[in-house]
Amino acid sequence: MQTIVVALGERSYPIHIGNALLAQPELLLSHLVRPRVAIVSNQCVAALYLKKFTTTLESVGIRVVPIILPDGERHKNLDTLNLIFGALLADRCDRKTTLVALGGGVVGDLAGFAAATYQRGIPFAQVPTTLLAQVDSSVGGKTGVNHPLGKNMIGAFYQPQVVIIDTDALATLPAKEFSAGLAEVVKYGLIRDLPFLEWLEQRMDALMARDPAALEEAIARSCANKAEIVTQDEREAGLRALLNFGHTFGHAIEAAMGYGTWLHGEAVAAGMVLAARLSERLGYLDRSAVQRVITLLKRAGLPVEAPAISVDRFIALMAVDKKVDSGKITFVLLRHPGNAFVAGDVPDLLLREVLAGRTATHA
């Protein structure tokens, strides 16, 4: 097992990464105020892992309250959030009950937001079961729900007590969702870690084959990158914005197509290609660097072309993104692979040309 610490003073917490961790109750027990947890999961993940995890916890005297949600990004909304509140109230859960997210990014974001707001805040733990959640959404304290006009527009920063990443859970992950998680892994190499990017280029075939050693290394290096960034900029005042590489475009794709039609990682992958092309048009990247991004994403089984969205629709959706500053859309761009920066004054004509070149011109 590898352990990485997110260093936030009194709110610091460990990220444990390894196999068979769902069978090690002490990893969670040591962080509980009292031996009682409410486990939030979805129908798919619960069928695979909830009984096993519950048995593990009950073996050391922890009482478990299960809360099962419908599966899918389309359910990441206030109505589903209210299901969590209703279950907590019905079981008379108090402020010393720990809320545990067992599932992917949707479950983690919903459970985290519920923990941040139920009785004005209760303890929270992340047990992510998808690659995307393991390398990205479970770490850093971002929680929230979607609104029809924008992704994650309602939420809170709320850090977990512990993150427990059991790599065995990836064995049951569908290929499409596995590839979606690799988009966030590739992102870390592109924005700040050139040696990791080169490692990914060498080991992508092993990752696609779900080689255990390669997977654990990729997850650990991704979490280490995110932990370093969150430690320096917890609430996205500067450095943490780099983690949004590809996301301004990607969130617009998700909203335009209907949440869940494109997986988050798929939309981010297409968004990273658009960001790379915009970087090229602005004179930062050369054509070979853009092709390098495209080649690696293709090897990861990810889309590299945005869907058919009109340019005006694309820009309108990006204009309601959280990263808009004083009415201007901000983008994370690349100076070169391994070096990203935030740009807040991209010429509208160049943006339109990039969008027109890679998407259809009809709604």
Taking alpha carbons only, the member of 131, 144, 231 closest to residue 174 is: 131
Name the catalytic one among 16, 36, 76, 142: 142
Instruction: Give catalytic status of residue 228 as yes or no.
Output: no
Residues for the chain: how many in total?
A: 363
Task: Pick the catalytic residue from 92, 120, 287, 362.
Answer: 120
Instruction: Evaluate the CA torsion angle 121, 123, 127, 132 in order and state its sign.
Output: positive
How far apart (Å, rounded) are the C-alpha atoms in residues 334 and 45?
Answer: 36
Q: Which of 16, 36, 76, 251 is catalytic?
A: 251
Q: Is 31 a catalytic residue?
A: no
| 142 carries an active-site annotation | yes
CA triple 352-356-359, angle to 5 deg: 130
Active-site annotation holder among 226, 277, 281, 323: 226
Q: Of these residues, 244, 266, 281, 323, which one is catalytic?
A: 244
Say which of 73, 177, 184, 254 is annotated catalytic.
184
DSSP 11: G
Known catalytic residue at 352: no
> Which residue out of 240, 277, 281, 323 is catalytically annotated?
240
To the query of whether residue 236 is one of the catalytic residues in this protein, the response is: yes
CB atoms within 10 A of CB 223: 25
Q: Is 247 a catalytic residue?
A: yes
**Is 254 noted as a catalytic residue in this protein?**
no
Mind giving me the DSSP string for 312-356? Answer: HHHHHHHTTSTT-BTTB--EEEEEETTEEEEES---HHHHHHHHH
Catalytic residue check, 305: no
Q: Which of 151, 187, 221, 264 is catalytic?
A: 264
Which entry of 151, 247, 277, 323 is annotated as an active-site residue? 247
Q: Are 183 and 302 in contact (CB under 8 A)?
A: yes
Q: Annotated catalytic residue: which of 73, 177, 217, 236? A: 236
Active site residues: 120, 142, 184, 226, 236, 240, 244, 247, 251, 264
